Structure 1
Amino acid sequence: MSHSLQGKVAVIAGGGKNLGALIARQFAEAGVAGIAIHYNSDASRADAEHTAAELKAGGTEAILFQGDLSVVGNNVELFERTVQHFGRADIAVNTAGLVIKKPILEVTEDDYDRSFDVNSKAAFFFIQQAGRSLADGGKIVTIVSSLLAAYTPFYAVYPGSKAPVEHYTRAASKEFGARGISVNAIGPGPMDTPFFYGQETAESTAYHSTAAALSAYSKKGLTDIEDIAPIVRFLVTDGWWITGQTIFANGGYTTR
């Protein structure tokens, strides 16, 4: 059975920058026919346009879609527009997320609602619409967090709002399995991207940079997007038999 990316069409939520953009570039190098790149806000527009231009320059057709995926209709429109444009959708990868790091006593209702909107609600309806839209044999991957296996203060609502995705993943893998669709989640460790540094201090960054078992053998001690993108590529190709799993790819930062 062939699991090549040649001729496939991918939808990447948060695909305009950082890990999402790298996944898009690697998919393009592997021969996908088209990629729908989602980005959330005007602040990400320039990055998304740059990524799309890179893909097109390399010969891969790309379309852009802006929208808040915690709005259910935006998920519907994202996949419908992809299928209308390319004629199909085969792979759905959700890299989007929101980190809030605060002591529990300082978390506001707005913090809680925003976290669950981005990390849980959007993830659920992205998976739902992928299940409706992907061709048989499709693949769904959601980026979660290695903090799901951590015992730590100050990160109540971030991994708390990512935790439901494990259950969505298991249920979807069962429900979509008869159509050959695999569904998985990947939990990176702290990644060397702006997504990580925004809420950290020099002291906490130094801790995270030495906390993984393999930290001493990496450039900065943190997870690199180059460490995660190949795992996504594997899960949507030869790793198709893996389904319903949360894979902790973190250099030994956490485990269970």
Structure 2
Amino acid sequence: MAKAEAKTAIVTGASGGIGRAVAKRLAQDGFSVVLNYSGNADKAEQAVNEIKAAAGQATAIKADLSKEDEVASLFERSLSKLGQVDVVVHSAGVMPLSPIIKNDVKQFDEVIATNLRSTFLVLAQAAQHVADGGRIVALSSSVIAKSTPTYGAYIASKAGVEGLVKVLAGELRGRNISVNAVAPGPVATPLFLKDKTPEQIAQLSRIAPFERLGEPEDVARVISFLTGPDGGWINAQVVRPNGGFA
């Protein structure tokens, strides 16, 4: 970290799911955290209040991460509140499912805008503003290895995320900033569980040798390691906390 005595972080998509768990874990680790959200202000403020109740420091900032000006504003406002940014964790994303044969271009564009375009915009701002010695983490997905039907747009977007992460790691040579992707397997979040039947959920739960879905905290622990003092030698990697899913 650039300044161990004043660790700061931005976590996107932090009103729920994995992002919320990451924000709470980083606050527990001693970070002052900006929780970004796009729509659910009540859930974001609830997460902020939970962090503060545990003696952490947090604030919520709304931004649509598919829009260049709003991403820039998120970083400007975060810097104003935090003074500097040591860590950025980009967790925001969507996962609507549709077979490629349906040619649902509108849905495809939505997934690419929310998952891939937003990653490009967030990584670009992070590259400009993260302090030397900092950490950047973007969320991918272990489903890339499965080529699961109906996941075409989602897999395309996350494959792009992994590509961007590896390129940016090289571009930041000399600044001691690590850039990694974390690619969970199935995690019991509203995003993953949406529109799935109990039978589908049970089937997916049995794929990994541990025979359960991941929990958001499983992923948060990995990100805590990557953004903490022991994770500094991990760079340009895709870490897959998936219980053996793939």
TM-score exceeds 0.5: yes
The 3-state SS of whatever aligns with 2:155 is helix
Matches within 5 A, 1:193-212: 193-212=189-208
TM-score (norm 2): 0.95
2:59 counterpart residue number: 63
2:33 counterpart residue number: 35
Q: Percent identity?
A: 34
Q: Could you tell me which runs of 5 or more consecutive residues in structure 1 were left unpaired when the two chains were aligned.
A: 216-220
In structure 2, the CA distance between the partners of 1:113 and 1:206, relative to structure 1 (3 Å rule), is same
The 3-state SS of whatever aligns with 2:92 is coil
In structure 2, the CA distance between the partners of 1:213 and 1:175, relative to structure 1 (3 Å rule), is same
- Aligned residue pairs, count: 245
The 3-state SS of whatever aligns with 1:115 is helix
Residue 165, structure 1, aligned to residue 165, structure 2:
no
User: Does the Cα contact within 8 Å between 2:27 and 2:58 map onto a contact in 1?
Assistant: no
Residue 117, structure 1, aligned to residue 113, structure 2:
yes
TM-score (norm 1): 0.91
User: Does the Cα contact within 8 Å between 1:5 and 1:30 map onto a contact in 2?
Assistant: no
Find 2:47's aligned residue among 45, 51, 61: 51
Per-residue CA shift, 1:153-203, capped at 9, x if unaligned?
111111111111111000110111310110001111111111111132233
Q: Could you tell me which runs of 5 or more consecutive residues in structure 2 were left unpaired when the two chains were aligned.
A: none
2:142 counterpart residue number: 146
1:107, CA displacement in angstroms?
Answer: 4.2
User: Does the Cα contact within 8 Å between 2:147 and 2:155 map onto a contact in 1?
Assistant: no
Separation (CA, whole Å) in 1 of partners of 2:173 and 2:206: 39
In structure 2, the CA distance between the partners of 1:204 and 1:198, relative to structure 1 (3 Å rule), is same
Matches within 5 A, 1:1-256: 6-32=5-31, 34-41=32-39, 44-215=40-211, 221-237=212-228, 238-254=230-246
Separation (CA, whole Å) in 1 of partners of 2:2 and 2:245: 31
Separation (CA, whole Å) in 2 of partners of 1:73 and 1:52: 24
User: Does the Cα contact within 8 Å between 1:5 and 1:27 map onto a contact in 2?
Assistant: no
The 3-state SS of whatever aligns with 1:136 is strand
Q: CA RMSD in A?
A: 1.6
